[in-house]
Structure 1
Amino acid sequence: MCSMDKDACDFQEQLDIENNSRAVRTHWVLNAPDPPGLGHELVGTIKKTVFPRRNKSSSSFSQKLGSRYAVSLLQGLFPILEWVRNYKATKFRNDLMAGLTLASLSIPQSIGYANLARLDPQYGLYTSVLPPLIYALMGSSREIAIGPVAVVSLLISSMIPKLVDPVSDPIAYRDLVFTSTFFAGVFQAVFGLFRLGFLVDFLSHAASVGFMGGAAIVIGLQQLKGLLGINHFTDKTDVISVAEAVWRSIHHPWSPLNAALGCSFLIFILMARFLGKRNKKLFWLPSISLLLSVILSTLIVFLTRADKHGIKILKHIKGGINPSSAKHLQLNGPNVGAAAKTGLISAIVALAEGIAIGRSFASIRGYHLDGNKEMAAMGFMNIAGSLTSCYVATGSFSRTAVNFSAGCETGVSNIVMAATVFLSLQLFTRLLYYTPTAILASIILSALPGLIDFNEAYNIWKIDKLDFLACIGAFFGVLFVSVEIGLLAAVTISIGRILLNAIRPGTEVLGKLPGTDVFCSTNQYPMAVKTSGILIIRIHSAFLCFVNANSIKERIMLWVNKEGQGEEEDKKAKSRTQVLILDLSDLMNIDTSGILALEELHNKLVSLGIQSANFVNKIGATSVFLTTVEAVDACVTSKMVNP
């Protein structure tokens, strides 16, 4: 008898300990500390972006005065100061070869992309000099290659001509491009310093795939003008207008020699790329093929005087040091708003492309890339670029892949590339006088297949149909309307999807996996067993607020009442449901509408004879549990459920 009393006492003592422990854990949940204020958040975000992370042994920011504080600040702004101390001659040798290989690709591409942006060729070369140098000092990616890219060039050539005609007033057009570049840099720097990278994330991966694919097709159609030597063409960027311009050009003079020259070298470039992919030792062949194409085609035109027979050539390219363009920025006037809009869109697209490229190669090398520091670095390089006759620069996938394959070790490869382009501007621009424009079209066309990713689009379709809708929306928006409408469609669909998930969050019935304490969806795991008399519902929402409170309440009652299911077993199950457990482990915030909805739900459940644990004020803190296992055990041990 004493033994039985002792066992009962021990059991009761253990039960009291468990209840006290549960009460303490419940107290943690119900009395969480207040979040930091807005001012503290802003100061903290700038510190995290500017200052490098320190280990626990390092002194705090308040103790770092004088030289230590200055060193910490400089290392945060210029990551090169950290890794340059361990830089060795072997690394420089690899960076030198990678930079020279990169320059052989950058020079012809930069000229071609400037032509796509409807700027003089030298501005593409200028953009491959100063921005890469600044990024090498401030950026943290070891592989990314900086310079002009096709998609941003298309953006500029599609938006700025609506304000100023680049043919009738090329000076005003150029100045607006510099102004848009300045705004793009400002937006990027602000995004990085205040850790606003989530704004760029509205252009989701699926939307980027669709946008890049549509832009690639539009760019390809536009290059038919240079490839075929068409004189009359459209300034619009939608596929219908471009196709009509190509059709109309059949009845106008065009140059068969121009087409033959351009197509021949396009085939040569594509064959070199094919061989480079088949044999990794020939990684240099695709990049050198572009420079060889420019040299050979220029020699052919010069020796045969083909420019006298219909071959269009570049003619004069201005060389020298990047001239200052600070006085050309139009920061007041009727077009400043439109220039800021173009800068914002260009900033987002450039960041989305550049950071995605940098992170993909950083993951291969096994190091982390800080997105906010990348934004700040790209912002400052574009601000400086706008003051030195450059337009928007970012990371290029094709050039980064070449840089990586060439064995680059650090950002010094960007410095070598920039120095090589600078020397070319000083010494070799006069030799490009006879370079045919068809070669520029061939170079751009050869880079477009890398922008169209059918496999990724198919994967998006298989994984998430709503995500695929954003992909298709961006693709057709760019293809049939304009670049900015395509972007707007993609962002709108992505935001619409977020709102749909917020308004109609998912709910699912949970069951216990046999032999474990894990509760999971009975739809996803059919072997999960429901606890007799207990209905467990998980709500997939971080917020219970005015937007979704009624929807969640109605869906919970549907599960309780088994409405819409005509099976007899479901009707019997209704009478067996005695306890409702809500798994709110995803819930982070609740407003007054959410509380009111829970009160109404509680009253309905009480009228049906069902007990619930849904909010503290109605039922007390003893019915709040940290895990589903604790909630089920409490219901069983307290005999809330009758077997």
Structure 2
Amino acid sequence: MTTERGEEIFIDYEHTTYKEETELFFKNLPHYTRDYLVALLPIASWIRRYNLMWLMRDLIAGITVGIVVVPQSMAYAKIAMLPPQYGLYTAFVGLCVYCLFATSKDISIGPTAVMSLLVGQTITRVTSESTTITGPEIAVTFSLLTGGIAMFLGLVRLGILVDFIPACSIAGFMTGSAITITIGQWPKLFGIKGINTQDSTYLIFGNFFKHLPGAQLDVAFGLTGLLFLYGIRYGCQYLSKRYPKYSTHLFFFGIMRNGILIIFATLIVFLMNIGKTTSPVSILKDIPAGFQAMAVPRVDTESISAIASSLPSGIIILILEHCAIAKSFGRINNYTTPIAGIFSGCVVVLALYALTPAFYYIPDATLSAVVIHAVADLVSGPSYIKRLAAVSLWELFVFVVTVIVTFFTSVEYGIYASVALSIVILLFRIARPRFWGLGRVPLADNGVADEKTKQQRYLYVPFNHPSLGKLVEPLPSGVLMCRIDESFTYPNSGYISDRIIAYCKEHTRRGGQVLKKGDRAWNDDADPVTEAAREQLPPLHALILDVASVNRLDSSGLQAVVDASTALNRYAGHHVELHFVNIVHPAIRRALIVAGFGTQPVPGDEGQEILPVVPASKDGPQKQAVDEEAASSDDDERKQGPQHIESVDTGSTATLSNPIPIPKDVYPFFHWSADEAVNAAVRSLSVHRVD
């Protein structure tokens, strides 16, 4: 939008009816349907652009990831209290199917450490209560139901649920789970028998040191394996910086360190077992070749009821470990071709059919080293905790509570504690938003002052502002301004209304009649001492509400504004003007117009209900007043602005070379600048001076 310099612009919005919105929706329905189907199968949008260069890169990446996934998935199966081959089954399916339905190149769908831990805890709990259900049956039923629920959430596009889980909860959950998994692997790392690794983490920690003298030869493979993994990792990082020419080769060598470790450890154990009937270290032993466990799963009421209590936590883990992490990678890398997963899946199939005899001698301690090395990066270090404490102590509290609960109970309770505490804090912030009384600071005349009127411009800030508080001046006598830092809805409507009334009473004197004790409301603090202390204060003429941070106003919030207005009118003994600054959404403006705040004073009885819970009489004054206010939005004669109104398209913008003056609303109590609102209140005060 361009306009001549100095030309006044008056803002109004054309109301879109529900009928028009419905017609527009059905008109665009074919377009919405096409976008939905493309989003379900994103491979259709990029497979036609696939080329040989991408193929070679995906082939290398897929083989490299496959070498990592094979030992890691078997280790995670052990965490889940399942035979190792189930980890390979899960890895193959996820790797091959994922590229059809998603876009993140950096995610390898398959068994994960935290989900494996939850499955293991669920299997331990169910098998201790029932002897008719096996561990694999529990895992299959659990996977099928959580996968089905996750698919439903994806089909109906409920990925927004991820946004309700804050980063501090994710960090605390991941840290607690990583600590739990790491300590749970210590007995296998040291070859210690007789410790239940499905107990709470603090019990495993204590029992480990209790049985530490019983460590076996496994500890040599475990600790050496950890030393090898971290040595290769940091060594490759150092050499890549020292010799950038070989950084790509060093990167792939570092990625394959798990596979290299498993190969050498297995070879050493094989040589150690030549001529022996019993292995000196704990090993995997027989792993069936191929997909021998593939069959129709057993899913009945018994198995479903047995795992039902673990399903919510399983869904949350799926969301946390995949959606949240995928979003993070997407923000960092901003690229896709996830077809490399198919090549990784081929490596898994090759391992299942050709390499299972070699898996016999894989030492359990080495697999524990692989797991510990993989999950250690999930732990948030001191630097994260220090930054989190600087940002928000509440978020630090959520993080610490999540880690502690996970450590002393289980990963399930850690998840529930994290999510529940985050929701409670969120609801508290919504129900008790920040509220500020505003003063103003004069701005220097460096082009800020209005060129036409030469009026002083001001910056409006809270009186207790940490930097500008000493410079803040009060507004003109009888005029107050406050800011609400949250949507005005039913959880906080009563609180905000009370804060508005209390703020106005603290800074003005009563103008209305002081009622007797028996006639006063419970929240009326009128008494001789209070009234005498306020006698030197000015009477209340106008209240300005800065609603720039209010992006929603529901019926409860609107009624609360009406109630506050009524209470202030009674307190002042006359109509108190309510001015609104920075109304950001047309729906909020429309709601205020319906309530009569566009053209004040509000006609009809004070204290009327805008949307009464119990319908009033159709012939009563309340119904008439509300109807009049609703009709006022279309009645130009009721508007106290200019007769000629220019409708503005808010989607357009003014060019920088042709600046415009501050727009004016066609309703005199809606403003686009705080200065304009204060000046309007002062002008009306000069006309209707209050003694």
TM-score bracket relative to the smaller structure: 0.7 to 0.9
Match of 2:85, SS state, is helix
What is the aligned partner in structure 1 of residue 260 from structure 2?
292
Q: Which has the higher helix share?
A: 1
> For residues 278-317 of structure 1, what are the alpha-carbon distances to aligned partners after superposition, in whole Å with 9 as ceiling and x for unaligned?
3441222332221111111111111111883530000011
Q: Closer, same or farther in 2 for the Cα pair 1:113/1:535, shift >3 Å? A: same
Match of 1:543, SS state, is coil
**Superposed counterparts of 1:186-335, under 5 Å:** 186-250=148-212, 254-280=214-240, 281=247, 282-305=250-273, 308=278, 310-321=280-291, 323-325=293-295, 327-330=296-299, 332-335=300-303
C-alpha displacement at 1:123, in angstroms?
A: 0.9
1:463 aligns with 2:391: yes
C-alpha displacement at 1:519, in angstroms?
A: 4.4
Q: Which residue identity does 2:562 align to in structure 1? A: L
C-alpha displacement at 1:197, in angstroms?
A: 2.4
What is the aligned partner in structure 2 of residue 541 from structure 1?
486
What is the aligned partner in structure 1 of residue 552 from structure 2?
588
Contact 2:494–2:560 at 8 Å: present in 1 too? Answer: no
Give the whole-Å Cα distance in 1 for the aligned partners of 2:377 and 2:152.
31
Contact 2:289–2:352 at 8 Å: present in 1 too? Answer: yes
C-alpha displacement at 1:529, in angstroms?
A: 5.6
Give the whole-Å Cα distance in 2 for the aligned partners of 1:340 and 1:482.
16
Give the whole-Å Cα distance in 2 for the aligned partners of 1:275 and 1:182.
42
Match of 2:291, SS state, is coil
Structure 1 gap segments, 5+ residues each: 1-13, 48-58, 368-408, 564-569
Match of 1:638, SS state, is helix
Q: Which residue identity does 2:137 align to in structure 1? A: D
What TM-score, normalized by structure 2, do the two folds share? Answer: 0.72
Match of 2:278, SS state, is helix
Give the whole-Å Cα distance in 1 for the aligned partners of 2:323 and 2:182.
25
How much identity, in percent, do the aligned residues show? 26
> For residues 146-192 of structure 1, what are the alpha-carbon distances to aligned partners after superposition, in whole Å with 9 as ceiling and x for unaligned?
221111111111223211149x9696111111111111111111212
Q: Which residue identity does 1:318 align to in structure 2? A: P
Q: Closer, same or farther in 2 for the Cα pair 1:246/1:85, shift >3 Å? A: same
Q: Which residue identity does 1:234 align to in structure 2? A: N
What is the aligned partner in structure 2 of residue 415 from structure 1?
342
1:627 aligns with 2:646: no
Give the whole-Å Cα distance in 1 for the aligned partners of 2:31 and 2:324.
37
1:436 aligns with 2:399: no
Q: Closer, same or farther in 2 for the Cα pair 1:127/1:524, shift >3 Å? A: farther
**Superposed counterparts of 1:365-380, under 5 Å:** 365-366=333-334
Give the whole-Å Cα distance in 2 for the aligned partners of 1:518 and 1:86.
54
Contact 2:493–2:557 at 8 Å: present in 1 too? Answer: yes
1:473 aligns with 2:401: yes
Contact 2:476–2:682 at 8 Å: present in 1 too? Answer: no
1:612 aligns with 2:612: no
Q: Closer, same or farther in 2 for the Cα pair 1:597/1:419, shift >3 Å? A: same
**Superposed counterparts of 1:118-197, under 5 Å:** 118-165=81-128, 172-197=134-159
What is the aligned partner in structure 2 of residue 636 from structure 1?
682
What is the aligned partner in structure 1 of residue 416 from structure 2?
488
Contact 2:162–2:324 at 8 Å: present in 1 too? Answer: no
What is the aligned partner in structure 2 of residue 352 from structure 1?
320
> For residues 318-338 of structure 1, what are the alpha-carbon distances to aligned partners after superposition, in whole Å with 9 as ceiling and x for unaligned?
22137434x3232x2234134
**Superposed counterparts of 1:380-459, under 5 Å:** 410-454=337-381, 455-459=383-387
Match of 2:301, SS state, is coil
Match of 1:613, SS state, is strand
Q: 1:507 aligns with which of 428, 435, 452?
A: 435
The number of residues matched between the two structures is 548
Contact 2:90–2:110 at 8 Å: present in 1 too? Answer: yes
C-alpha displacement at 1:420, in angstroms?
A: 1.0
Contact 2:385–2:396 at 8 Å: present in 1 too? Answer: yes
Q: Closer, same or farther in 2 for the Cα pair 1:623/1:493, shift >3 Å? A: farther
Match of 1:313, SS state, is coil
Give the whole-Å Cα distance in 2 for the aligned partners of 1:133 and 1:524.
57
Q: Which residue identity does 1:216 align to in structure 2? A: A
Give the whole-Å Cα distance in 1 for the aligned partners of 2:170 and 2:203.
23
Give the whole-Å Cα distance in 2 for the aligned partners of 1:61 and 1:99.
39
> For residues 93-128 of structure 1, what are the alpha-carbon distances to aligned partners after superposition, in whole Å with 9 as ceiling and x for unaligned?
111111111112111111111111111111111111
Give the whole-Å Cα distance in 2 for the aligned partners of 1:112 and 1:430.
17
C-alpha displacement at 1:640, in angstroms?
A: 5.5
Match of 2:670, SS state, is coil
Q: Which residue identity does 1:428 align to in structure 2? A: L
Q: Closer, same or farther in 2 for the Cα pair 1:573/1:319, shift >3 Å? A: farther
Q: Closer, same or farther in 2 for the Cα pair 1:237/1:581, shift >3 Å? A: farther
Give the whole-Å Cα distance in 1 for the aligned partners of 2:20 and 2:158.
18
| Aligned residues: CA RMSD | 3.4
Contact 1:206–1:470 at 8 Å: present in 2 too? Answer: yes
**Superposed counterparts of 1:506-525, under 5 Å:** 506-511=434-439, 514=443, 515=448, 519-522=460-463, 523=465
1:603 aligns with 2:567: yes
Q: Closer, same or farther in 2 for the Cα pair 1:505/1:605, shift >3 Å? A: farther
Give the whole-Å Cα distance in 2 for the aligned partners of 1:322 and 1:342.
28
Contact 1:553–1:601 at 8 Å: present in 2 too? Answer: no
C-alpha displacement at 1:504, in angstroms?
A: 1.1
Contact 1:133–1:415 at 8 Å: present in 2 too? Answer: yes
**Superposed counterparts of 1:552-567, under 5 Å:** 552-562=496-506
Give the whole-Å Cα distance in 1 for the aligned partners of 2:28 and 2:567.
54
Larger Rg: 2
Q: Closer, same or farther in 2 for the Cα pair 1:33/1:461, shift >3 Å? A: farther
Q: Closer, same or farther in 2 for the Cα pair 1:88/1:577, shift >3 Å? A: same
Contact 1:209–1:457 at 8 Å: present in 2 too? Answer: no
> For residues 393-431 of structure 1, what are the alpha-carbon distances to aligned partners after superposition, in whole Å with 9 as ceiling and x for unaligned?
xxxxxxxxxxxxxxxx62121111111111111111111
> For residues 19-78 of structure 1, what are the alpha-carbon distances to aligned partners after superposition, in whole Å with 9 as ceiling and x for unaligned?
xx35x35xx6xx5655999xx89xx8xx9xxxxxxxxxxx965499xxxx9x87764432
Stretch of structure 1 that moved more, 200-209 or 626-635: 626-635
Contact 1:203–1:491 at 8 Å: present in 2 too? Answer: yes
C-alpha displacement at 1:509, in angstroms?
A: 2.6
Q: Closer, same or farther in 2 for the Cα pair 1:312/1:62, shift >3 Å? A: closer
Give the whole-Å Cα distance in 1 for the aligned partners of 2:57 and 2:230.
27
Q: Closer, same or farther in 2 for the Cα pair 1:637/1:236, shift >3 Å? A: same
Q: Closer, same or farther in 2 for the Cα pair 1:241/1:172, shift >3 Å? A: same
Give the whole-Å Cα distance in 1 for the aligned partners of 2:680 and 2:71.
72
Contact 1:183–1:339 at 8 Å: present in 2 too? Answer: no
